[in-house]
Chain A
Amino acid sequence: MTDASAPLPALESEAEFKDFIALLKPRVMLLVVFTAFVGLMAAPVQLHPFLAIVAIICIAMGGGAAGALNMWWDADIDKIMKRTQKRPIPSGKVSLEEAKMIGFALSGLSVMMLGLATNFYAAAMLAFTIFFYIAIYTVWLKRSTPQNIVIGGAAGAFPPMIGWAAATGTVSFESVLMFALIFMWTPPHFWALALFTRMDYENAEVPMLTVTHGRKSTRKHIVVYTFLLAALGGATILSKLAGPIYIASTILLNIRFLIDAFRIWFRDEKESERDSFLVERRFFKFSLFYLFALFAAILADSTLSRLGIWG
């Protein structure tokens, strides 16, 4: 029951439910859910549908918990960066203490429930992912090395492996390949973002590649990593993950991704500023589509194979 006589807190500090949802980084969660779902569906062992739903919810919850803990730890720099100023903590809607408690509570709950629903191997992997994202990436790497995104990208790459492990109880070559695809995709995705958010990372003293090695070097790095990603995508054709849809998708997606990466490389800062980083923004948006489309192709192939249509 609400105490109407209680002192009126400042309105900005009274969070709405949607502010707590925002704390869990729902857009990142969408990516986590989708890739975990693909990992689970592509696995050779089928989980009971209800347990599969519970597993996906647990992985999403774990991802959300990591997001909340990340916002808790990074509140000081989120306040400085334009891109993150409207997040629930810097905007004064959710307190640091609330974010920390929600993060830790959801971490524990998601890991325990995943263990009970599927197996403790998958649960341990989810726990390690949250630990990696918070302790290794957020606390350690993010503020200390320009390799932050390269190594830290592993955290975002684990969900399909967790999905696969939830179904099979093991790690396999195919699940490692799915991990590797997201791992290689992460650096060019975030470096493109760093290019068009311009001074954000510099102002916050986050040693992104744009800050430590310059913007020209970042453009070169985008091309190199996009090329490595394309090579990995091509190599995946030889695995059991690939069917006709994956093969067609990876060829088309990688050609388009590489063309845009080269366009970023050939541009200079003046040209980019003239059109407000149009190519960089387009590359960033396309990178999101790229990952969804690639994993959708894996899902489609595994579904058609399961239905006996091919494979």
Chain B
Amino acid sequence: MSFRPDHEIHKRRFGRNVGIGLLLVTLVVLIFGMTVVKITEGNVASAIAGNQSID
């Protein structure tokens, strides 16, 4: 059985896909941010300015 692309089921799946996509982006941002904070030992601005050397 086939159905048209604008079927109700597509709307639901689209909503789910967008939601999961946003969650994945959030996860990437969190892990990236966490990594930056950890490797700069919290001095992110200072590290960006090149004032901190990482041993």
Contacts and interface: CB of A to CB of B under 8 A. Distances in A.
Interface residues of B, number: 22
A311 to B, nearest CB: 25
Contacts of B31: 113
A57 interface: yes
Given A2-B10, A4-B2, A54-B30, A17 B37 contact: no
A52 to B, nearest CB: 10
B37 A50 contact: yes
Contacts, number: 48
A117 interface: yes
B15 A50 contact: no
B9 A9 contact: yes
Contact of A11 (B1, B9, B34): B9
Contacts of A240: none
A243 B25 CA distance: 41
Contacts of B3: 4, 8
B8 interface: yes
B16 A16 contact: yes
Interface string A115-150: 011000000000000000000000000000000000
Most buried by B among A17, A51, A113: A17
Contacts of B19: 17, 20
A9 to B, nearest CB: 7
Given A2-B10, A16-B15, A54 B5 contact: no
Contact of A116 (B1, B18, B34): B34
Nearest to B26: A57
A111 to B, nearest CB: 15
Contact of B34 (A17, A18, A51): A51
B15 to A, nearest CB: 5
A48 interface: yes
Interface of B: 1-5, 7-10, 12-13, 15-16, 18-20, 30-31, 33-34, 37, 42
Interface of A: 2, 4-5, 7-9, 11, 14-18, 20, 48, 50-51, 54, 57, 113, 116-117
7 contacts: A4-B2, A8-B7, A14-B9, A15-B16, A17-B18, A20-B19, A50-B33
